[in-house]
Structure 1
């Protein structure tokens, strides 16, 4: 297929590049010593939800200025209508905006609230909920985290056990969520709770709630990952009183709201560009005098072919992302294609990390960034990539979806 820009798209791409060059705050510099969270749209050295509350005044001010510049264009929520703080961009123009921001190495703003919760509230929220939550998301003033997974309820989400019992004009919520990405930086959570334990089918007794993290009875604790970073958290509810007005959709129908929410997941361009930039940096480094000092002696025997395979796979991933967004632009809802994208991206992440580490042989065991080849970026990426094949749905679940929905194979 031909993915070349139309003249209008090429003009918009040029506008985005000019905007970034002119408006990105020069004091908002990347912190390359910091670990990243695990989201595909993360940019090396930035974590906007954390940066906005940074103890470093220049980082906090830079994050604020960047959010303000994007707000003025409606580009925190570019696909939203203008009356809700967006820019009314088409799906393809949204894709171009995301692509150019990633290529420029500048962070997105708004995160999961902008691309996932916002559209969910537009579809299922009350007028009061829209007035309360959409404007702060569009201005980068309120960040969100997703409280779905629980201990023992990840891929089998319908088995969740966090309970909510109606008590007058509120629900009393008790239970635990886990692996809540950026939970320690969130102002609000959207969570799934069980409101009908006796439901004939488990997914029919679930309700979707919005939770202010300052609510008494809500406790958020960071989880330290294999790299020593804390990109996610566990959340505890102990008789947390959540107003009924914070329920999205009907009681016991939250499963269907959640499935709609997950359909708003991104097309995956962020991962493609991250991997491409990492590989280009690797190739450039090993060609340098410094890089040759660290190069594994037998790299030339098969290493070049391995790097070439990684590059080819990245072009495949790019085309998968473009296919997904093209289907959306045509008014279709991507089905199994999203699972193909997720699975291929996750496994490519791991293959790329292994390739980068093998290039440097024993030097890839250096964890400290100072005096390590390429600042130990691939050593850290190997740790980052361990979780890739179960974040956002395990590889086994994705293969089942592809087999049954894509290939029409029987379930048993």
Structure 2
């Protein structure tokens, strides 16, 4: 039991440092814009670039490394990830920084996919939903601790020291991986064709679009969370760090609630999540006129962001284990891959809205994607129910 707790901590730490690096840009947008003399909206596209590279590279790298020892693969991914952050630390111009972020993004998705595969391997069946929700919570903890810490460090000591903090945590994480995780984990060998057979399943094709539109809806406004707080809601820089922590706590609560959902109603509860997102986002233009009302709305909508995570992750794993066992690592990566397609779509949409309209438009812009996600989850639940009924034995 002690070994399981240590291993669980290491998997959460992997997610934390990956999330810290990815989300750090949100908290230091203004500082980077000042340093490199580029508009904040342009710096915001670093989020888009990171997410696109993350999403495109992850399936290819995941398929490649899943044919070999997964422990060695995880160490290699974390090594390249650390190198990418070292390059960010030394960036001398905006283009150099963008290239360094591409290096980091290219392996981050494969690293978390392997982490989730290890979670499925080491956790007893009753603990799987719990551990998966905690691994996803690692990203939320990065929002609570990492992003505010990175913002505070950047404000007081410079943005390079924020990246140095990520580098140090990455090196500690690699050391703990070496000391704690099993070294003999491999999955059933299969050709590339055998692994991608997973995509023949219509449930998978519909299901993988859900994290995409869920995160697209959120990131229309989340990419510009710092200017929303300081410009739109008119809070001070000192209050900014506190509010980023509060919103991160909201995200952690949502992740833990996601674990409970996966143990209970699962995907059947998700349509209500997207209805709530739609309502809250449509309220944003009005809510942003009142500082603390705006904070409450942001808190609630950020709470909804991770609720899909554990139910959809378990759904992917269950489909793969039953019908496509050779594709388990790839199935583990789907949530991460398409979440980042969603981040890219949402942040790009937010950039267009902010550049051409104003911050008032980001809420209704995100609400459009919430409607799409609602339609997809209703269709998936109906399909799953019909399949269950068709396989139920006649009495």
Q: What range is the shorter-chain TM-score in?
A: under 0.3
Quick check: which one's strand share is greater?
Answer: 1
Quick check: which one's helix share is greater?
Answer: 2
TM-score (norm 2): 0.27
Bigger CA radius of gyration: 1
Higher RCO structure (Cα 8 Å, ≥6 apart): 2
